[in-house]
Structure 1
Amino acid sequence: MISVKKKYSIEQFINCESLGGVSISPDDEKILVGSDRSGVYNTYSFSRTGDEVEQLTHSEDNFMVPVGYFPDGRKFLYRSDQGGNEITHLYLQTEDGKSVDLTPGKEEKAEFHRWSRDEKSFFYESNNRDPRFMDLYEMNVDTLEPTILFKNEDGYFVSAISHDKKYIALHKPRTSNDSDMYIYTSEDGVKHMSQHEGDVQFQPVAFDKDSTHLYYLTDEDNEFMYVKRLCLTTGDSEVVVKEDWNILTARFSPNHKYLYYYVNNDGKIEVKVVESETGKNVEIANFPEGQISGLAISNSERYMAFLVNRSTAPANLYVYDFEAKELSCLTNTLNPEIDERDLVDAQVVRYPSFDGLEIPAIYYEPHLEEGEKAPALIWVHGGPGGQSTVDFNPLFQYLVNHGYAVLAVNNRGSSGYGKTFFKAADLKHGDVDLADCIEGKKFLIGTGRIDENRIGIIGGSYGGFMTLAALAFQPESFKVGVNIFGVSNWERTLKSIPAWWEAMRELLYKKIGDPYTQTDYIRSISPLFHAEKINKPLMVLQGANDPRVLQVESDDIVEKVRENGVPVEYIIFEDEGHGFTKRENQIKGYQAIREFLDTYL
């Protein structure tokens, strides 16, 4: 007999602290971190020893996540948008706490790139000239005047800038599975560097210290992305590092003493650090178990700061001293009211789909008494092309803590499992990928611990679309559906993508379908045009400022399904976009989801 675990409220789960955006000060003494401990993401300063914490920004509505310290170590940059509209600006906070908008264009979206080697300027991207494309700028730290370095008129993505500022590495997707690599110089313009046939990815990540080699990711002759480097004088390339899973990105420490790279290891994000000259792995004793993110190495290259989360605890801030070989944790973000032993470890599982293809998933099973059977949810991630991983998810843990099993399916078309798996759902969305999710029911039932008559489906964004698709196209498969800002009408969504996504437009059309030339097909996979078939209870949550999935997508499906006489609950957050960032909204939304499930599942 399993002892009954303590039940926690949604407030207790949401009142765990969430961290993001790590940066180390020039003197190694402080670390900038974004935290939502105030209820909204603000920027905080932690002393390297963790004994002093200071809140530096004081927003009550919009997130203010740090980018990094200015070279003087007193001022810093942060980014923020308005109510989740994704039009991020870069701000400078001065020593006296005043905030200066460095990219003040009303519709200007800006993203920080990196500091120049002499620290007299920084590079950033902005669509101020043309809302469709991100140009590259350099801003002088003394005058705060920007200079355009690369005018992007053909939908490139800026990937890396050489230290001597001579080279700008670009990449341009052809499809989700095929991309090209370019180098721009002011003398020669844009030069193509990745002649190839078939579907191959090329994505630059960094130049070396001497600006003689370009490091890049590719899946050439391989299922997974790995790191190569290209000699800019001879054109020769060689493999730098290859793993058994996708390498997501690679970066150098400020003076290139270390190369570090992220590996997507079967739904878990790992980081490996190597010495640049020798290629030798840096072994860190007592390295914490969990997923790594936000890694930053100090200018002195003595300290490394990073975040680690696991399925039963949110991300904590760690600092590693390379010289002393000491690792310290500066935070304890799990709400002290929660005993971690009451939570459930995520399990990586696999099951066969309708055609025998093996589908990976992340499984959370509640603590059950002997003979007890639980209700369950199939969770579908965002995308298309996203992935569920084993990180901390307060909604999952809340639902599991209250008796629901959750199977987060990584259906075909998900990233992280090789390029063949990734493109297996192209132009078949809402069909084969949905079938993979429905087959997940067999896995759940096969555990012997799930009530086969109480299985629902839930998801956000693309996962919200999949929820609606399940209810519309396979109406007897699930007992309920929870759609969190999901697409109901692909024709409208694909025609109204944000201006700054212009470079991704054709990529999306080739993956999902062209709303102008394949109208009949697009409507055939859009749940809105088949809403009369939905006969199960539906819940919808939506942000009013969402630029990706417009509110009308949710308004329309709610109106149509209500005409069927089906129970429909609808919550709109007026101050949120594509994702709910404010604690009070998360509490309201997640509590409502559980009440809906308690009623109908």
Structure 2
Amino acid sequence: MNRQVSKALIMMLVFCFIFSTASFASAVSLNEAVQGYKDVPKDHYASKEIAVLSQRGILQGAEDGTFKPDEEVTRGVTALWLSRALKLGKPASLKGFVDVPETSEYASAINVLAEKKIVQGDQGKFSPDASLTREQMASLLVRAFQLKDNGINVWFKDEAAMGDSHFQDIIRLKQFFLTNQVEFMPKNKVTRAQLALFLYRAIMIGELETGQIPIEDFFRKSDVGSAQVSPNGVTYALLKSENNQNEIFVYTLGEDISKAVRITNSKDRSIEDFVWYDNNTIVYMTSSGGDEDYHIHSIQKDGTKDIDLTPYPKVKADILELYTKKPDYILFTMNKRSSTASDVYEMNILTGESKMIAENPGNITQWVTDLYGEVRMAMATEGTDTKMLYRRFESDPFETFMTIPFGDTFIPVMFSFDQSQLYALSNIGRDKLALVAYQFNTKSIVETIYENPDADITNIVVSFKKKAILAVEYETDKIYYHYMDDEFEKLNQEIAALVPGQQFRIVGNPLPDTKVFFRTYSDKSPGAYYYYNRKTKVMDKYADPQPWIKEEQMADMKPISYPSRDGRTIHGYLTMPKKVGTTNLPVVVLPHGGPWARDSWGYDPEVQLLANRGYAVLQVNFRGSTGYGKSFMNAGNKQWGRAMQDDITDGVQWLIKQGIADKERIAIYGASYGGYAALAGATYTPELYAAAVDYMGPSSMFTFLDSMPDYWEPDRQVMYERVGHPEKDKAMMEASSPLMNVDRIQAPIFFAQGLNDPRVNKKESDQMVMALRNRGIDSHYMVKNDEGHGFHKFSNKIDFYNALLKFLAIHLNNK
């Protein structure tokens, strides 16, 4: 989309601003180069492009010092410029076309391009003096720069006028943002200035400025992703990308990691995660095309007995408990019997034999096992309330022991070691989630183990050897621990002293006798894996997951806070680009998904990519986000596009008042709920944003709720309370649906969507794109047929981020 600009002349004027920060523009004054052509004034729409390409020796003017920018360019001149741009050298022969003599100034260029199958003739003739049409130019550029389909759906008003042989090539030009026009005018002749403009943009694809890091470096797979050690500490397994698929590799302690051997061969399904079951067996999860219908597999460490344990189409399976009283058995949940309800099964992981052991009556959303792998608890929805169910023995029926009203939270964490109590995170009777002990005999919370006044408790660290809780985790600006065990606290202090400025997490056993396995991380580093020897006090690096990421090149992520318009304190993070100053910057506002989630401090490749390209990045934990207590989260109920969006808007205004943001160069981009927030920002505060990016976000609150996946059905009433009721809250939901207020949108919007998305149906993007196009407003729309809720394949990620950066550069960086 081009901010409702569709006329060709105006488009050309707009295009003159694109790529104004190109690094290959030398220190020689561009004005001097332009003034070298008497007929190219400084304010000409292609003056910069003509100047830069002339400096590179690609273009040339006439002997009289003119460029003749408005003169129709010939096929011969086009071939000459293209061959220079591609640095193709000399052809094998100069006799490819009967109407191009060997003495022609175009002979070498035309023939070498023909040998590369970039140009074509007709019945042995090339017609070098013929004018070039716009559709012919499209085909030449696509062949020359090998522009492949990147999944972006584009639209022209004059598609009927395009020749069949050129149609897909014209589409490619728009897919790669070489044109943003709504009308392409395919039969029109191309002028010399226009060709210079398009050639410049094609050359710029893949060009990096000084200090810019390739997109691939931020998103390529690590050679030691998800590294895990077997229970006996002898064998290591890790996920590694091969042929754009995650595969499991194993190797033995003491061997070089480069000798790791692949044991899986995932042709049609992607490996999502894995875990060691015992010293010989690995259990792993797969999905297909992002559909989230997970399958459970088992495999031996030598690659034998690779079994799909749940080989059922359109069925979602999840591991519930790895360790039961039966050797070689696990517990898992599966919605095979009913798409809306997951039952519990036990299964032999060596044979795949399974049977149902607990049937879901239809409203159970979570099953809970005790320390011995027996299903002892369940959480069920009843309207908007949550029923907590318990049974003392597996042969007993479940009985309700507590009802949690909507707005309160009670999350089972684990049974106590004597099985008499349940440790849970609860905000019943308080604002923040606290770690509590619930006594089954008395049916009451008997102890508050730890409560933090500023943040919810998020996790606990447990030692099964000590049969004790070692620490409680909570998160404010960063993750912190409240220690409950002196030995564990001392261990963490020793490690912290060895990795100053880094956060870290212990992997596996939190208190091993000798070697502690842990991973570091920070805002500027994905971290590394280490071993710490508790006896010798020596730390050894195990592996760098992404050694190509250099901390000194990354930007600082700073915790920030500001007041909302109604007096709440809103927390978030601001990442500033390096070496471009701290004021009047282009900004990308990046609201998180969920929305019942939060942004956290740490290394984020997407944030770092944007900062590396010169953008300040604002992340806001708006009301409705988790971690800040019950009151803050519930303040987001039925506030989509309203107070939740106001919190984001207030953050942008805060940046403007601080002098950090250039108010003319602000974009909003998000995924899932963040995509909705991007649409809402463009809809309800159209004056605030120069551009928006909706990555798989809902566009209508009605169709979003109508198309929820079946397994969300038990929580439908809860969703009505959180989002809105289609009948009771109809007016509010209409007002908060960008689709129904599309006439308010002014900024260009880029859409991206996975075909197989089970959470946000593709219809959400389709209907928004069509609504804009019906108003005559174009929108680039990337669809990936092999993805679901988010792009996970490396090639798809690269396509998306290339398009994202190009879109932002056009509409933000170079206004």
TM-score (norm 2): 0.67
Alpha-carbon offset, residue 345 of structure 1: 1.5
Question: Is 1:63 the equivalent of 2:253?
Answer: no
Alpha-carbon offset, residue 200 of structure 1: 2.6
Q: What is the rounded CA distance, in whole Å, between the counterparts of 1:263 and 1:38 in structure 2?
A: 38
Structure 2 residue ranges without an equivalent (≥5): 1-208
1:489 to 690, 695, 700: 700
TM-superposition CA deviations, 1:393-448 (whole Å, max 9, x none): 21211111111110011111111111111111201211111111111122222332
Q: What is the rounded CA distance, in whole Å, between the counterparts of 1:305 and 1:155 in structure 2?
A: 40
| AA partner of residue 419 (structure 2) | S
In the alignment, what sits opposite 1:560?
771
In the alignment, what sits opposite 2:353?
145
Alpha-carbon offset, residue 328 of structure 1: 4.3
Q: What is the rounded CA distance, in whole Å, between the counterparts of 2:565 and 2:317 in structure 1?
A: 45
User: Do the aligned partners of residues 140 and 22 (structure 1) sit closer, same or farther apart at CA in structure 2, a change above 3 Å counting?
Assistant: same
Q: What is the rounded CA distance, in whole Å, between the counterparts of 2:769 and 2:506 in structure 1?
A: 38
1:449 to 641, 644, 660: 660
Q: What is the rounded CA distance, in whole Å, between the counterparts of 1:392 and 1:594 in structure 2?
A: 20
Q: What is the rounded CA distance, in whole Å, between the counterparts of 2:771 and 2:599 in structure 1?
A: 30
2:684 to 460, 466, 473: 473
Secondary structure of 1:427 counterpart: coil
Q: What is the rounded CA distance, in whole Å, between the counterparts of 1:169 and 1:19 in structure 2?
A: 36
User: Which one is further off, 301-310 or 203-212?
Assistant: 301-310
TM-superposition CA deviations, 1:581-601 (whole Å, max 9, x none): 111111110111110010011
TM-superposition CA deviations, 1:236-287 (whole Å, max 9, x none): 5222333342222336445564535663412434566755xx8974532123
1:416 to 608, 612, 627: 627
Alpha-carbon offset, residue 535 of structure 1: 1.4
Question: Is 1:352 the equivalent of 2:557?
Answer: no
Alpha-carbon offset, residue 543 of structure 1: 0.8
2:379 to 153, 165, 171: 171
Question: Contact 2:525 / 2:550 at 8 angstroms: preserved in 1?
Answer: no
| AA partner of residue 427 (structure 2) | D
In the alignment, what sits opposite 1:332?
544
Secondary structure of 1:32 counterpart: strand
In the alignment, what sits opposite 1:103?
310
In the alignment, what sits opposite 1:227?
435
Question: Is 1:128 the equivalent of 2:336?
Answer: yes
In the alignment, what sits opposite 2:495?
286
User: Do the aligned partners of residues 326 and 512 (structure 1) sit closer, same or farther apart at CA in structure 2, a change above 3 Å counting?
Assistant: farther
Alpha-carbon offset, residue 40 of structure 1: 3.4
Paired residue total: 593
Q: What is the rounded CA distance, in whole Å, between the counterparts of 1:295 and 1:570 in structure 2?
A: 41
Alpha-carbon offset, residue 122 of structure 1: 1.4
Q: What is the rounded CA distance, in whole Å, between the counterparts of 2:383 and 2:681 in structure 1?
A: 27
Question: Is 1:343 the equivalent of 2:554?
Answer: yes
Q: What is the rounded CA distance, in whole Å, between the counterparts of 1:423 and 1:19 in structure 2?
A: 40
Q: What is the rounded CA distance, in whole Å, between the counterparts of 1:525 and 1:489 in structure 2?
A: 8
| AA partner of residue 388 (structure 2) | M
Question: Is 1:248 the equivalent of 2:458?
Answer: yes
Relative to its length, the structure with more strand (as a share) is: 1
User: Which one is further off, 124-133 or 166-175?
Assistant: 166-175
In the alignment, what sits opposite 1:463?
674
User: Do the aligned partners of residues 441 and 66 (structure 1) sit closer, same or farther apart at CA in structure 2, a change above 3 Å counting?
Assistant: closer
Question: Contact 2:460 / 2:473 at 8 angstroms: preserved in 1?
Answer: no
Question: Contact 2:483 / 2:489 at 8 angstroms: preserved in 1?
Answer: yes
| AA partner of residue 413 (structure 2) | V
Secondary structure of 1:504 counterpart: helix
Secondary structure of 1:43 counterpart: strand
Question: Contact 1:208 / 1:214 at 8 angstroms: preserved in 2?
Answer: yes
Question: Contact 1:292 / 1:309 at 8 angstroms: preserved in 2?
Answer: yes
User: Do the aligned partners of residues 482 and 197 (structure 1) sit closer, same or farther apart at CA in structure 2, a change above 3 Å counting?
Assistant: closer
| AA partner of residue 296 (structure 1) | G
Secondary structure of 1:313 counterpart: coil
Alpha-carbon offset, residue 548 of structure 1: 0.7
2:750 to 539, 562, 571: 539
Alpha-carbon offset, residue 187 of structure 1: 4.3
Q: What is the rounded CA distance, in whole Å, between the counterparts of 1:183 and 1:558 in structure 2?
A: 49
User: Do the aligned partners of residues 166 and 401 (structure 1) sit closer, same or farther apart at CA in structure 2, a change above 3 Å counting?
Assistant: closer
In the alignment, what sits opposite 2:612?
401
Question: Contact 2:297 / 2:306 at 8 angstroms: preserved in 1?
Answer: yes
Question: Is 1:389 the equivalent of 2:597?
Answer: no
User: Do the aligned partners of residues 513 and 251 (structure 1) sit closer, same or farther apart at CA in structure 2, a change above 3 Å counting?
Assistant: same
User: Do the aligned partners of residues 371 and 210 (structure 1) sit closer, same or farther apart at CA in structure 2, a change above 3 Å counting?
Assistant: closer
User: Do the aligned partners of residues 225 and 451 (structure 1) sit closer, same or farther apart at CA in structure 2, a change above 3 Å counting?
Assistant: same
User: Do the aligned partners of residues 141 and 153 (structure 1) sit closer, same or farther apart at CA in structure 2, a change above 3 Å counting?
Assistant: same
| AA partner of residue 359 (structure 1) | I
TM-superposition CA deviations, 1:71-114 (whole Å, max 9, x none): 2x222110001010000010112344452111122122111122
1:45 to 233, 239, 250: 250
Q: What is the rounded CA distance, in whole Å, between the counterparts of 1:585 and 1:354 in structure 2?
A: 40
Question: Contact 2:524 / 2:556 at 8 angstroms: preserved in 1?
Answer: yes
User: Do the aligned partners of residues 264 and 565 (structure 1) sit closer, same or farther apart at CA in structure 2, a change above 3 Å counting?
Assistant: farther
2:388 to 172, 181, 190: 181
By relative contact order (CA 8 Å, sep 6+), the higher-ranking structure is: 1
In the alignment, what sits opposite 1:32?
237
Secondary structure of 1:568 counterpart: coil
User: Which one is further off, 479-488 or 7-16?
Assistant: 7-16
Counterpart mapping for 1:506-585 below 5 A: 506-585=717-796
In the alignment, what sits opposite 1:113?
320
Alpha-carbon offset, residue 55 of structure 1: 3.5
User: Do the aligned partners of residues 167 and 571 (structure 1) sit closer, same or farther apart at CA in structure 2, a change above 3 Å counting?
Assistant: closer
User: Do the aligned partners of residues 496 and 320 (structure 1) sit closer, same or farther apart at CA in structure 2, a change above 3 Å counting?
Assistant: farther
1:498 to 685, 709, 726: 709
CA RMSD after TM alignment: 3.0
Secondary structure of 2:495 counterpart: coil
2:524 to 312, 329, 332: 312
Structure 1 residue ranges without an equivalent (≥5): none
In the alignment, what sits opposite 2:798?
587
1:88 to 294, 300, 303: 294
Question: Is 1:265 the equivalent of 2:265?
Answer: no
Question: Contact 1:17 / 1:35 at 8 angstroms: preserved in 2?
Answer: yes
Q: What is the rounded CA distance, in whole Å, between the counterparts of 1:294 and 1:579 in structure 2?
A: 29
Q: What is the rounded CA distance, in whole Å, between the counterparts of 1:274 and 1:21 in structure 2?
A: 28
Relative to its length, the structure with more helix (as a share) is: 2
Question: Contact 1:17 / 1:37 at 8 angstroms: preserved in 2?
Answer: no
Question: Contact 1:344 / 1:397 at 8 angstroms: preserved in 2?
Answer: yes
Question: Contact 1:34 / 1:65 at 8 angstroms: preserved in 2?
Answer: no
Q: What is the rounded CA distance, in whole Å, between the counterparts of 2:759 and 2:594 in structure 1?
A: 11
Question: Is 1:190 the equivalent of 2:398?
Answer: yes
User: Do the aligned partners of residues 49 and 515 (structure 1) sit closer, same or farther apart at CA in structure 2, a change above 3 Å counting?
Assistant: farther
Q: What is the rounded CA distance, in whole Å, between the counterparts of 1:292 and 1:506 in structure 2?
A: 39
User: Which one is further off, 481-490 or 28-37?
Assistant: 28-37
In the alignment, what sits opposite 2:71?
none
Question: Is 1:374 the equivalent of 2:581?
Answer: no
User: Do the aligned partners of residues 78 and 282 (structure 1) sit closer, same or farther apart at CA in structure 2, a change above 3 Å counting?
Assistant: farther
Secondary structure of 2:264 counterpart: coil
Alpha-carbon offset, residue 190 of structure 1: 1.8
Q: What is the rounded CA distance, in whole Å, between the counterparts of 1:561 and 1:299 in structure 2?
A: 58
TM-score (norm 1): 0.90
Question: Contact 1:25 / 1:298 at 8 angstroms: preserved in 2?
Answer: no
Amino-acid identity (%) = 26
Alpha-carbon offset, residue 324 of structure 1: 6.2
Alpha-carbon offset, residue 133 of structure 1: 1.5
User: Do the aligned partners of residues 239 and 261 (structure 1) sit closer, same or farther apart at CA in structure 2, a change above 3 Å counting?
Assistant: same
Larger Rg: 2
